[in-house]
Structure 1
Amino acid sequence: MSIINEQSPLARPRASTEADPLLKIISPLGSDDWEGEPDEETLSTWSLFLLTLGGLGLQIGWSVETSNGSPYLLSLGISKSLLALVWIAGPLSGVLVQPYVGLKSDNCRIKWGKRRPFIIGGAGATILSLMILAWAKELVSGFFSIFGADPNSQGIKTAVILFAILFVYVLDFAINVIQAGIRAYIVDVAPTHQQEAANAWMIRASGIGNIMGYLAGMVRLPDYLPFLGDSQFKVLCAIASIILALTVGISCGTIHERDPRWDGAPDSEGGVLAFFRGLVRSVRKLPPQIRRVCEVQLFAWIGWFPFLFYTSTYVGQIYVNPEFEKNPNMTPDQIDALWEDATRMGTRALLVFAFTTFAASVFLPFIIPPTYSAPRDDPATPMTPMTPTTPHSMTGGGYFAFNPSPRKPQTFSDKLSAYTNMLQIQSLTLRRAWMLSHLMFAALMGLTFFVRSTTTATILVALIGIPWALTNWAPFALLSSEISKRDAMRRGFLRPTPNDRNPENIEDEAGEDQAGVILGIHNVAIAAPQVIATLVSSGMFRVLQKPRGSPGDDSIAWVLRFGGCCALVAAYMTLRVAEEKDDGIGEIAMPRERRRRNS
């Protein structure tokens, strides 16, 4: 359909409308300088699954680090005070790496796509980091043994600890590279009206990964897979690496991006200072909807951080309190043995939480109506782009002209879609569901005043899986839809409504609101509150925590309640997020008048 003019190795491909006049016919808005081919087409359910499959492997790798990383590092001899500094790597890498990777991928102009090179590169670095971290002791001891050093000396032990800490940071940086790539990959590939569905599939994939990671952690894997390693952590890292390679390979090999060489020359890139200046400029120029979502996340994640990091300890504390009351003079060995049992209780609660989260991620998208309608009234009726010669009245005011061909027989997918649409609660928009999730989380944190047994604590943790599913779906879906909508306006697939900015402004801001940059800034809004929550939690522990082995320690519960108060602020802030379902998004969606008439 298009002819590529090859000029120089650095010149991007350009569609020649003179060579092929049909390009003028298919141009969405009749622009003579439109480049590329229309790609705002609906993806199949199978394509959405493959698009987000990499999230499954990523989540398994992440769960291995978070659930087994601390015991592994402690086994190497690291102190608990130093361990706290090690885990700052997570939010630190989120603040620094994701915005930078986002900018670099936005400016990528190779034929394989913007995001896939970073996804594959991040996956390779993650696999390498996991395996090196798991075998850190053997690698360091083997290296220094060449020079005759004693593997059991204090110097070698210190070198092993420093080497392991180094690769914890490398691992966190690598995970953030692949995470940034996958999130932007979804935004680029899925059309505007399927962004919510694509992000729902991402949460389902992550939920399966979480469940697999927790289940694997409860089995003594070296007994069954000794050829992968002689310790639990080694086998887990090997399994996570294999699954990550398979899922990322399948996803990137089957789902293709549009050629980024159509997108024009990238923004000029400078050094580190230029990057931070550009980041600050992008923050100042954030579109209002995206800015409001990030503001909600700032408060929401101050509340979520204590729950995510201290839940197993909270459940464990409830388990040990009665035993400490019966025997307040336990020996250190008895206390350690009791806490081992308590840790298993906490892990069991997290496993139930993972199942609840997955179930919610499957069910909630069926009852929450999609914000954006598919770009046609009848899924059985093909659509053709409106050309400059098509009278606007013929399209009913919409972007697409509808072919009056006879209605096709309904497929099984059409019938299934009709049945699932009956489950939808029309008044429950995604934004309102997100607000309710904050209120539900705050209420459940308040119920910690009444929890006295591990059974009720496990039920409480399980129920939190519902707001957690929405926390991992709603903000990403809202952001992705907004980014995709604005990109569709720039490329001519969508006419802006009066609620949107002037199209000229959207074009001018093309460098500031691309998927990589926006998602990087959003991740800063998630990671930065974790540092705040760490400092506040540390202060509360210092004031409220009792000596180890003492009964009635309620410090973690108070930290969780503090998180619930922050969730109330996030719920209020969510009210400021625009209700896209009420405003309409432009003419790619079914106009509101027609939507009302059909309903």
Structure 2
Amino acid sequence: MSQKPHLSFWQIWNMSFGFLGIQFGFALQGGFMSRIFQTLGADKDSLPLLWIAAPLTGLLVQPVIGYLSDRTWHPWLGRRRPYFLIGAVLSSIALFFVPYSPTLWVAVGFLWILDASINISMEPFRALVADKLSEQQRSYGFVLQTLIIGIGTWVASNLPWLVNQLGVSNQAAPGVVPPSVKLAFAIGAAVFLVSILVTVVTTREDPPAVWPEPVDTSEKASLPAEILHNIVHMPRQMLNLGFVQFFSWLAFFSMWSLSTPALTEHVFKAPAPDPAAFDVTVPAQAQAFALANGAYQSAADLVGSYTGYYGLSSMLVALLLSLYASRHVINRRRVHFVSLMLGGIGFLSMMWVPEPAWLIGSFALVGVAWASILSMPYALLSSSVDPRKMGISMGIFNMFIVIPQIVASTLLGPALRLLFDNQSIYALVISGLSLVLAALLLVRVEEPKAQVHA
């Protein structure tokens, strides 16, 4: 059994650089799709259900892409990179056109296409890190990947605000997405494609023949049967981590789908105006709508900007962890517990912030959890997974990401309406409690035996 070679910082950086574009796509989607939906006339309590396209596509796409990438070998592009490239092209097209949606249901359709395309690129990236790095370097690799994700989250979340500061308008007629959002999505589309190309061009994949145990691409089991078999026989470590992931991603999906209405209403006191409540043919009502819509769009810009601080925070946390992990062994379970608890406190604090600027601190705490969620579970899992099935295993593990999103999509809106008088801020309270519960569930997760540091 051959030892995987020790990779340099720049080799791991280039291998992970495509995640910058993937996170541009996710941050723009997570930070501004609800804003687009509301601009096109969606009620706030329908927003989680409109988001159901995203987790449904992930549930279907990720195990399939993992299965296929385990059995793919292209003489130029290797095993995982063909999927990076296909997903990047489709994602860039969807990102560019989604803010031009003429109706709500067109926007929902674009979200479906966008999320499926991002998943085609994203799922093999997790497997690539495990493919190329030895057990001693995996924590370092996943943390460095998280650093790049943090950079992407912070920059992309601030794009609409930034282009507005450069003179691009953040206001438009009723039912029209502002030019600042359109330009931000166009920039995101370009960054997505270019960053993926950097990884495709600079990273080499080893053919199956040089793996410790060659992959048998001649297996006759059907795709559904193979996926079902691996789900039924998943390692106990994966199942226990799955419960942690469930509540972790329930928290973040609640934030992505409802942070804009929650914070524009509760903190900024500038809710989205209902176009149907105004007769824009009457000058006074047209002016009233313009004032209300202007206040909402400006507040939504700031919500996006403040949300970006969780990306900045995660970037700094990942940088510190990467410096430590490059020289020492990390207790991954302990790091994850503390990080989730801090994130839970961050979400809960949003209910009581005295003024908007305090949201920076709240989102900074959320970013600590985000940095850990993107790295520690995969580092905890990878040593318990058959290296011949890394792609499909990571795809199945990611089902614990999309299932809670489906649950939130269907139940969060009714829960807020029936239990909390339709006050969206309670979605963020649910996020905080979910992260605290996820931290407590780590008691069932084993810390892999310490390895000699990289």
**Who is 2:355 aligned against?**
453
Distance in 1, matches of 2:270 and 2:181, equals 32
Distance in 2, matches of 1:363 and 1:213, equals 22
**Deviation, structure 1 residue 42:** 0.5
Q: Select which of 32, 40, 43 maps to 1:68.
A: 32
Q: 1:556 to 1:247 in 2, by over 3 A?
A: same
Structure with bigger gyration radius = 1
**Deviation, structure 1 residue 452:** 3.0
**Who is 1:281 aligned against?**
229
**Who is 1:199 aligned against?**
142
**Who is 2:245 aligned against?**
297
SS at match of 2:6: coil
Is 1:238 matched up with 2:186? yes
**Who is 1:128 aligned against?**
93
Of all paired residues, the percent bearing the same amino acid is: 22
SS at match of 2:433: helix
Is contact 1:204–1:361 with CA below 8 Å preserved after alignment? Answer: yes
SS at match of 1:219: helix
Distance in 2, matches of 1:240 and 1:298, equals 28
**Deviation, structure 1 residue 113:** 1.6
**Deviation, structure 1 residue 353:** 2.5
**Who is 2:82 aligned against?**
117
Write out aligned runs for 1:316-335 (5 A). Answer: 316-321=264-269, 333=289, 335=292
* Deviations 1:294-330 (CA, angstroms, capped at 9, x unpaired): 222122222333234333433323334599xxxxxxx
Distance in 2, matches of 1:162 and 1:317, equals 25
Task: Tell me which moved more, 66-75 or 118-127.
Answer: 66-75
Is 1:177 matched up with 2:120? yes
Is 1:440 matched up with 2:397? no
**Who is 1:411 aligned against?**
none
SS at match of 1:575: helix
Q: 1:162 to 1:336 in 2, by over 3 A?
A: closer
Q: 1:249 to 1:269 in 2, by over 3 A?
A: farther
Distance in 2, matches of 1:536 and 1:214, equals 27
Is 1:218 matched up with 2:161? yes
Q: Which residue identity does 1:355 align to in structure 2?
A: L
Q: Which residue identity does 1:187 align to in structure 2?
A: A
TM-score scaled to structure 2, two decimals? 0.83
**Deviation, structure 1 residue 526:** 0.8
Q: Comparing both structures, which one devotes a greater share of its residues to helix?
A: 2
**Who is 1:515 aligned against?**
390
**Who is 1:55 aligned against?**
19
**Who is 1:250 aligned against?**
198
Write out aligned runs for 1:539-578 (5 A). Answer: 539-546=414-421, 555-578=423-446
Is contact 1:86–1:168 with CA below 8 Å preserved after alignment? Answer: no
Is contact 1:303–1:563 with CA below 8 Å preserved after alignment? Answer: yes
Is contact 1:315–1:458 with CA below 8 Å preserved after alignment? Answer: no
Is contact 1:204–1:362 with CA below 8 Å preserved after alignment? Answer: yes
Q: 1:438 to 1:90 in 2, by over 3 A?
A: same
Q: Select which of 152, 167, 179 maps to 2:110.
A: 167
Q: Which residue identity does 2:80 align to in structure 1?
A: R
SS at match of 2:146: helix
SS at match of 2:267: helix
Q: 1:279 to 1:355 in 2, by over 3 A?
A: same
Distance in 1, matches of 2:352 and 2:95, equals 41
SS at match of 1:578: coil
Distance in 1, matches of 2:352 and 2:27, equals 30
Q: Which residue identity does 1:173 align to in structure 2?
A: A
Q: 1:85 to 1:542 in 2, by over 3 A?
A: closer
Distance in 1, matches of 2:347 and 2:195, equals 36
Q: 1:39 to 1:285 in 2, by over 3 A?
A: same
Q: 1:66 to 1:298 in 2, by over 3 A?
A: closer
Matched residues, number: 427
TM-score scaled to structure 1, two decimals? 0.64
**Deviation, structure 1 residue 162:** 4.8
Q: Which residue identity does 1:516 align to in structure 2?
A: G
Q: Which residue identity does 1:186 align to in structure 2?
A: V
SS at match of 2:78: coil
**Deviation, structure 1 residue 256:** 0.7
SS at match of 2:375: helix
SS at match of 2:204: coil
Q: 1:255 to 1:538 in 2, by over 3 A?
A: same
Is contact 2:27–2:156 with CA below 8 Å preserved after alignment? Answer: yes
* Deviations 1:119-147 (CA, angstroms, capped at 9, x unpaired): 1111122123333445565xxxxxxxxxx
Distance in 1, matches of 2:45 and 2:255, equals 20
Is contact 1:196–1:481 with CA below 8 Å preserved after alignment? Answer: no
Distance in 2, matches of 1:558 and 1:459, equals 19
Distance in 2, matches of 1:134 and 1:447, equals 32
**Who is 2:7 aligned against?**
43
Distance in 2, matches of 1:473 and 1:434, equals 9
Is contact 1:435–1:575 with CA below 8 Å preserved after alignment? Answer: no
Is 1:344 matched up with 2:301? yes
Write out aligned runs for 1:306-385 (5 A). Answer: 306-321=254-269, 333=289, 335-367=292-324, 370=325
Q: Which residue identity does 2:430 align to in structure 1?
A: F
Q: Which residue identity does 2:337 align to in structure 1?
A: M
**Deviation, structure 1 residue 164:** 4.4
**Deviation, structure 1 residue 429:** 1.0
**Deviation, structure 1 residue 257:** 0.7
Backbone CA RMSD of aligned residues: 3.3
Is contact 1:444–1:464 with CA below 8 Å preserved after alignment? Answer: yes
Q: 1:573 to 1:80 in 2, by over 3 A?
A: closer
Q: 1:59 to 1:584 in 2, by over 3 A?
A: closer
The answer for unaligned runs of 5 or more in structure 2 is 170-177, 272-284
Q: 1:450 to 1:340 in 2, by over 3 A?
A: same
